[in-house]
Amino acid sequence: MRSGLLAILTAAALQGSASLRLQHAVQTVQTNLPPKLKGRICRHGGDRHTGGGARPPLRLRGGGGASATSASAAELARARLMLLVANAGFGSYSVLLRAVAAVPGAEPLGTLFITFVRYSFLCLFATATRSLRAVQARRRLADGGSASLAAPAPGASLAALELGTYSVSCALLSVWGTCRVTAAMSEIFASTDHVFCPLVSLLLGVGGFGRRTWGACLLAFGAAALTAAVDYARGGGGEGGGGSLPGAVALVASAWVDSVYRVRTTVHLRTHAAEALNLARMCWMGALSAGLFAADVAAGGASAATLRRIGHVRPAQWALMGGGVFVSGFLSASLQFEAMRTISAAKSQPFAALQPLFAGLFGVALLREEVSLGTAVGGLLMIGAALVACGDEEAEEAAASDAAASAEAEEDPELAEAHAASALPPLVAPLDAIEGEMLDEVVHPPEPRPDPRARRLRPTGAVAAVLAVRAMREVARVSRRKAA
């Protein structure tokens, strides 16, 4: 009993010592890597669907697998819920814009004025959030913790300016077109950005897509054309149908600009933090819209007339503009950026396809708008197009990512070595095998194997033993005779 207990304690001690030695060796190797090579290994060796982060820490045998799996499942469910809420907020965008003009006794507002007011609120929200993050970081630093404020990466301001320019351009086209069509129809045309994305990606050289995505592009254009034709024919081009043709064209153009914005956002998120980039983009949007508004006022445009009658703007209009940009521009965008850290772009498309559904529900509930035949048919086709577009296997995205990494590796020898190292099997399995063999040798020591030469010596030894026994018997017999 004591020997068995001693063997168990010895095995446990040796296992812990071996684990510590192995972990120390791995950490030493990772620490001694050059910084440039280490960053590239983390970028190319991470999960392809989570933005290329570092691999999870090495874990030896002894538990933790189940908890890791449940945590990843919980994060995935949380990201899906965030995407659902975010796209519901995006669906309220067109409804609240039309509600601004539908306020009883409302003052007619120009497109630049609405954009300026909305993005001024958005810039205020972003500035307040950045200030709150700075205060929290200082408190953690004062309490002895580590501050979460990191120096912005080079080019972060230019990246935010680029994305802010796309957002403002898209908003100007979207506001102008949304005020001329129904809410549900505006969401249908705006949803074409989900099928424009593959085309823009190819034009910008970001990645390739399969046949289903190209089929979804044709289906989306067919849905947009059918919606415009049916509603234009039923309403005679007036307000009785879904809206005007110029408004539909403006919305499709805004969808194209939004596609460029999404693709470029994906590129910038490889090197910049999501929250910092998003908040900086919001601040640039406020600055750009203010510049456009000031230029229009100086030129004596529609914004100048709106500014002269700013006292007649109803409080409900201010509340709708501020609340609308808070829901769709701040909350929904922040949730989308956070969710995209866990769910890939292809898997998020079905959630984005639900925006027309939410827009139709909000339009019926808030504005009492009727869903026309063309809007209903076009909405169903658009949802089908988005679902078909996301049906491509993500293996194609993986192949495109690997091809891009290989192209970069050809230019840099260190990157080639890092890319080759990331393609090797993970180190966890060999470490587990080594540790398991060490433990088995302690708990179950191997039986001694006989020397193959002993097999040849067995007959000789047996004969020698027989002869020795016979000699001893003969000596005993001779001794008895002499004694007699």
pLDDT digits over 95-110, tens only? 888 888 888 888 888 8
Burial string for 95-129 (b: 16+ CB within 10 Å, else e) reads bbbbbbebeeebbebbbbbbbbbbbbbbbbbbeeb
- Indicate the SS3 state at residue 206: coil
Pick 401 or 209 by higher pLDDT.
209
Backbone Cα Rg of the chain: 35
**Cα dist. 374→224, 230, 332, 357 in Å?**
9, 5, 28, 14
Q: Tokens 């033993």, residue?
A: 465
What does the domain layout of the chain look like in residue ranges? 2-55+412-440, 74-406, 452-484
Is this structure's pTM higher than 0.75? no
Burial of 77 (0-12, 13-18, 19+ CB in 10 A): exposed
Pick 376 or 420 by higher pLDDT.
376
Question: What CA–CA distance (Å, rounded) separates 16 from 380?
Answer: 60
pLDDT bin (cut points 50, 70, 90) of residue 297 is: very high
Pick 220 or 460 by higher pLDDT.
220
- Cα angle value 459/465/470 (rounded, 5°): 130
The 10s digit of each residue's pLDDT in 2-56 is 444 344 444 444 444 444 444 444 455 445 545 544 444 444 444 433 334 433 3
Residue 57 is encoded by which pair of tokens?
């820490």
Q: Tokens 């079905």, residue?
A: 350
Question: What CA–CA distance (Å, rounded) separates 450 from 195?
Answer: 72
Q: 279 and 129 in contact (C-beta within 8 Å)?
A: yes
